[in-house]
Each structure stands twice: as structure tokens, then as C-alpha cells.
A and B are shown apart, each in its own frame.
Chain A
Amino acid sequence: MQFSKVSGKKNDHKVTLYALSTCVWCKLTKQFLNENNVEYEYIDVDLVDENDKQKIRAIIQDKSGSLSYPTTIIDGKIVINGFRKDKLKEELGL
């Protein structure tokens, strides 16, 4: 799977964002992470092939997240569904 990496000064957590290229709330999540200088990787799920879609589904469901976008996974264990500034701030210590 080809994730896009965004570097940032705040890199003490591994932040992975599953997004859709068409989704407004996904764009706002990316914007929020950029503004807060958070290092993260993201993938636009609507632009990947079938095999990657299945892998992504397995990853998200394994962590008991719902298949909605944006889904942010922090350090491989905390799952945040939706654009939740409050939760992102809390979990990332912003």
C-alpha cells in the first residue's frame, strides 16, 4: 500500500489517516494535522485498487473501527472515526 507521508515537527506518535479524496471532513482533518505540524501518513481509499481496499477494510475492522472516513489510527491502537478535533487534540497532546 502506498501511503503519502507528511512530515511535521510533532512526530512522537505514529498517525495514520484513512481518507477519501472526495470527502470534505477528510480534507479538514488533513488541514488540521498540517496546521498543528503533526507528522502523519495518509491514504485516499477511493483511489487505491481492490486488493488495497480489502487490506484497509481488514485493518480498520481489526481495530474495531467503523468503515467511515476519515478514520485516524494513532500508534496502531487508538481509532478516531470522523473529524474530531477534540479527540485528536487529546490523543496527540495538542
Chain B
Amino acid sequence: MTTIEEVRQRAEADAKTFGYYLIPQPELLQGFLEGLKTNEDRYGYPSCPCRLASGIFEYDRDIICPCDYRDPDIAQYGACYCRLYVNKQVYESQSFPEVPERRPVEKQARAYGTPAAAAKQAPVQGGQEKPLVKAEKAQPGVKKKLWYCKQCGYVVFREDPPYVCPICKAKREMFAEIESTVEFNG
């Protein structure tokens, strides 16, 4: 089981890597770390303490802290949605900006479970050939694709391209889908 200290070290290291700061008020910071630990113990991953998680990894991966929305939120507002991560200016002013929810409504809705949709599993595609690597269980409504950064070539396999390229910091617009085709010969 993860300890609060481990959660703290992870957050501090991540803030340092990206040039961010953690919320300056110690009692609030402690609250966020406890929330992250609770979610990690509960779901197996530290999903955002300020958002409702579904408990299904594929549905929650965009809100696993640090979430997909942190970098664009800090760039625009100076803080992430939770305000756990802030930039230097917000850290020094100690006053918090309002950060609207950037996560699309349809992704938020997945946490509220629609039993009918969940029961209807995605149909199994393809023939009888067993894949070399067993694919993760597909979740209805989640369709992963290959995306590449036109600026640096970074490739990622996920539902949506990142908001910011983690390698070269290019914006989302620089990502394009890789069209792949499989040909069978002989």
C-alpha cells in the first residue's frame, strides 16, 4: 500500500520536473495527498481527488494525477483543476484562480455508469488468430488510436492525443493520427 510520504514525494518530483509548485498551504496539500492515496488504495491508481472516478482504468486514465488537463490548465490559468499543482506566480500570490472543468462532459458522464451501456461489450473484431499480446479488455466507447507528434515524432496509443506533447511541448494541434493497415499475403 502506498504511503502518504510516497504520494508526496511523487508529486514533489513531478512538480519539479515540470517547473511547477504544489499548493503552498500545508493543510490543503495534506488533504490532496490523502485524497490521492485514498483513490489509489480504492481503485489501484491515484485518480483526481476532485473528480468522480468510475473505477474502470480505461475510463479514468485521463484523470489519473497528474491528469491530461493539468498542463493546459496551468498554462491558461496558472493552476490545475484541483489547484494541487500551480505555477510560480500563483504559488507566490497564494490566491487561487478559478479553473473551469476542461474534461469533456461525455468523459465525465462515464463515471456515472449506465448499466445498459456497460453490459453491451464491444464486439470482438477480427478472425481466430490470437494476438501476440493479449489486448486489454475493451471498454465500450473507448477507441484507442495511434497518434504522432508532427514536430518531434513522439507516438502515443490512446483515445485522444495529448493536449501538450510530453517530449517537445508542441500543442495538441501538432498531433495527427497514424493510419495503419494490415495486409495478409499468401
Q: Chain A: residues with CB nearer than 8 A to chain B? A: 20-25, 27, 45-46, 50, 53-54, 56-57, 66-69, 82
Q: How far is the CB of B164 from chain A (nearest CB, A)?
A: 23
Q: How far is the CA of A25 from the CA of B101 in the complex (A)?
A: 14
Residues of A within 8 A of B53 (CB): 46
Known contacts A50-B113, A54-B113, A22 near B105 by CB under 8 Å = no
Q: In the complex, are the beta carbons of B114 and A54 less than 8 A apart?
A: yes
Residues of B within 8 A of A66 (CB): 101, 105
Q: Which 6 residue pairs across A and B have the least CB separation, nearest first?
A: A22-B35, A24-B31, A22-B49, A57-B112, A50-B113, A53-B112
Known contacts A66-B101, A67-B105, A24 near B50 by CB under 8 Å = yes
Known contacts A22-B38, A68-B101, A27 near B112 by CB under 8 Å = no
Would you call B139 an interface residue if the criterion is a C-beta within 8 Å of the partner chain's C-beta atoms? no
Q: Chain B: residues with CB nearer than 8 A to chain A? A: 28, 31-32, 34-36, 38-39, 49-53, 82, 98, 101, 105, 108-109, 111-115
Known contacts A20-B50, A22-B49, A23-B49, A53 near B113 by CB under 8 Å = yes
Residues of A within 8 A of B49 (CB): 20, 22-24
Known contacts A69-B50, A82-B98, A23 near B113 by CB under 8 Å = no
Known contacts A20-B50, A24-B82, A50 near B115 by CB under 8 Å = yes
Q: How far is the CA of A64 from the CA of B161 in the complex (A)?
A: 29
Q: How far is the CA of A21 from the CA of B109 in the complex (A)?
A: 19
Q: How far is the CB of B60 from chain A (nearest CB, A)?
A: 12
Q: How far is the CB of A80 from chain B (nearest CB, A)?
A: 12
- Closest chain B residue to A58 by CB distance? B112
Q: In the complex, are the beta carbons of A46 and B52 less than 8 A apart?
A: yes
Interface centre among A23, A27, A53, A66 (most CB of B within 10 A): A23
Residues of B within 8 A of A50 (CB): 112-113, 115
Q: How far is the CB of A29 from chain B (nearest CB, A)?
A: 12
Q: How far is the CA of A89 from the CA of B152 in the complex (A)?
A: 51
Q: How far is the CA of A10 from the CA of B80 in the complex (A)?
A: 34
What are 30 inter-chain pairs, A to B, with CB distance below 8 A? A20-B51, A20-B52, A21-B38, A22-B36, A22-B49, A23-B49, A24-B31, A24-B32, A24-B49, A25-B50, A46-B52, A46-B53, A50-B113, A53-B111, A53-B113, A54-B112, A54-B113, A57-B109, A57-B112, A66-B101, A66-B105, A67-B52, A67-B101, A67-B108, A67-B109, A67-B112, A68-B50, A68-B51, A69-B51, A82-B98
Q: How far is the CB of B41 from chain A (nearest CB, A)?
A: 11
